[in-house]
Amino acid sequence: MKNENYNPKIGRKSGVLALGAGFLLTACGGNIGANEDQGEGFEYGAPDEEVQALIEDLEPVTITYQPSAPSPEAPTAPGGLLVKEAIEERSNGQITVDLAWGHSVAGYDEVHDALADGRVDLSHTLPSYHPDEFPAVDAFNNMVNFPSSPWMGELAANAASVDVGIQTPEVMADFEDKGLIPLAPTFLGGGYYVICRGDVPVEASDWQGLQVRVGAASQAELVGSLGASPVSLDRTEVYEGLQRGTVDCAISQLADVAGFGLSEVAPHIGYLTETGLPRVVSALVASPAIESLPLPYQQIIHDAAGDYYHGAILGTVDIGAHVAADIRERGGSFEELSSEVQTAISEFNTSHAESTGDEGDLDADVYDELNDAYDEWVNQVEDLGYEDGGTLENMDEWHDGSDVDYSSIVEVYYEETAQENRPE
């Protein structure tokens, strides 16, 4: 419910907006408005009993969260379910999380407005779909240039991207200037692959004349440089585009292959090992309405960013094992792109990152910071015991996500990144 007196320019604190709480959240027995005294907070990692004792006299509330998955049955659903579970358990049921699957309240074209005016309280978003509105995020997206690795590399890439993104003022300002609270501003999800109806364009000559779906400006430029024609479709439109033959291939994530059933119409996947395809960063973003809540409620919601990361790993990285088995059952194929094509992609990525730095939306040093962070996180990930045992094609044979405990990497990630923006 929008308050006409809302002013998104009141101020910032520790990288998170310190907004006048002019929004109302649905509450049992009435609505919660602005709290002059938002109460006593708690330290990160405090026992549940301590937190629940602190909030026992607070009024229950309900918040709406739009996860990325289309339904609770989708393979990508953990990104929603684990956040809901964490918030509700930590608050002893005093915060209820209503999940709006499939962006049923506000689609990708209007989700940021819905967050700003309080129709949605938490949401997965794709700011790279709106480069003019999020120029620093789009520039950041252009600077992400990590090698492709189905498991270990993905864990390191995501941690590095969120780590650097939170510490980049221009990226945070893209959200904050719109009255939004970025909890995980530059999450990558899984890597991108070439998903095709027919043969994968393995060689450079195979790209000539193809119609290829893209989800970001950098992907469009790359596809054009390879001799194909880029077609802009958001992730909810890719299935129909492939089914109808509007596009021959799609630059998409494995989460979309599983979550939107792309393998039904495009069971052939091209992958890389020497470099990576340009990414489309996503984000977990909160409405400024959250800051109308008592401080311990804010902290409970903010701390769930770690559970979002955990759920997103399960739903976007571990999904590779599911996709490998599914493609095999459908009689599809996996093809590694030729060294010639991968070299062209690598050269494009480097050139594009450097030109982005020259344009000035983001300091060129961010490119070096990302690569340095990736190297550091690779070491941490390996030290924690997460290593690839093969390629994507046989991932179901060497990786069983149900047996993996990600608590160690999530703890390291959260303590080294998100805590610096925790409400106090």
Put residue 245 in one of left, alpha, beta given phi > 0 → left and psi -120 to 50 → alpha. left
Average pLDDT, the chain: 86
Q: How far is CA 280 from CA 172, 187, 290, 320, 393, in A?
A: 17, 9, 26, 18, 23
pLDDT in tens, 295-339: 999 999 999 988 898 888 888 888 899 999 999 999 999 999 999
| Band of residue 340 on the pLDDT scale cut at 50, 70, 90 | very high
Q: What is the pLDDT of residue 418?
A: 65
Residues of the chain with CATH 3.40.190.170: 12-37+44-133+151-189+281-318+408-421, 192-279+320-363+386-403
The pLDDT of residue 1 is above 80? no
Of the candidate CATH numbers 2.60.40.10, 3.40.190.170, 3.30.465.10, 3.30.565.40, the domain formed by 12-37+44-133+151-189+281-318+408-421 belongs to 3.40.190.170
User: Higher confidence at residue 15 or residue 166?
Assistant: 166
Q: What is the pLDDT of residue 402?
A: 66
The CATH fold assigned to 192-279+320-363+386-403 is: D-Maltodextrin-Binding Protein; domain 2 (3.40.190)
Task: Give mean pLDDT, residues 109-120.
Answer: 94
Task: Give mean pLDDT, residues 15-32.
Answer: 31
User: Higher confidence at residue 207 or residue 318?
Assistant: 207
- What does the alpha-carbon distance between residue 272 and residue 257 come to, in Å, rounded to a whole number? 17
Q: What is the pLDDT of residue 10?
A: 23
Q: What is the pLDDT of residue 32?
A: 34
- What does the alpha-carbon distance between residue 124 and residue 120 come to, in Å, rounded to a whole number? 11
- What does the alpha-carbon distance between residue 193 and residue 280 come to, in Å, rounded to a whole number? 12
Task: Give mean pLDDT, residues 118-122.
Answer: 96
Task: Give mean pLDDT, residues 32-39.
Answer: 52
Place of tokens 């804010």: 298
Q: What is the pLDDT of residue 2?
A: 29
The pLDDT of residue 7 is above 90? no
